[in-house]
Structure 1
Amino acid sequence: MDVRDARDTGDATAGPRLSSSLARAARAVTARVEQVLRSENVTFDQWLVLDALAAEGGLTMSELTARTLATGPTLTRVVDRLVTVAAAYREVDLDDRRRVRVHLSTRGRAQHARLAGRVAEVEEEMLGSLSRTGPLFTALDRLGDG
Structure 2
Amino acid sequence: MGQPEIASIPMTSALTRAARVLAARAERVLAPHGFTFDQWLVADALAREQDLSMAQLAERTQLTGPTLSRVVDRLATSALLYRQVDPADRRRAVVRLGPRGRAARAAALADLVALERELLGELGDAPEFLARLAGNG
- Which TM-score applies when normalising by structure 2? 0.81
Structure of greater relative contact order (alpha carbons < 8 Å, 6+ residues apart): 2
CA contact (8 A) 1:29 1:123 kept: no
Amino acid at match of 2:48: A
| Structure 1 segments of 4+ aligned residues over 4 angstroms from their partners | none
CA separation in 1, counterparts of 2:102 and 2:39? 13
Give the RMSD, CA atoms, in angstroms. Answer: 2.1
Check if 1:59 corresponds to 2:52: yes
What is the number of residues matched between the two proteins?
A: 122
Matched residue, 2:34: 41
Unpaired stretches in structure 2, ≥5 consecutive residues? 128-137
Candidates 106, 117, 124, aligned match of 1:124: 117
How far, CA to CA, are the matches of 1:128 and 1:15 in structure 2?
Answer: 25
Q: Partners in 2 of 1:29 and 1:58 — Cα distance? A: 28
Q: Report Cα offsets for 1:97-136 as digits up to 9, x if no partner.
A: 11111001111011011111111121222123759xxx99
Q: Which has the higher strand share?
A: 2
- CA–CA distance in structure 1, aligned partners of residues 123 and 51 of structure 2: 33
Determine if contact 1:45/1:78 at 8 Å carries over to the other structure: yes
2:89 alignment partner, SS class: coil
- Deviation per CA, 1:76-95, whole angstroms, max 9, x where unpaired? 00000000010000011121
Aligned counterparts of 1:98 and 1:127: Cα–Cα separation in 2: 44
CA radius of gyration, larger in: 1
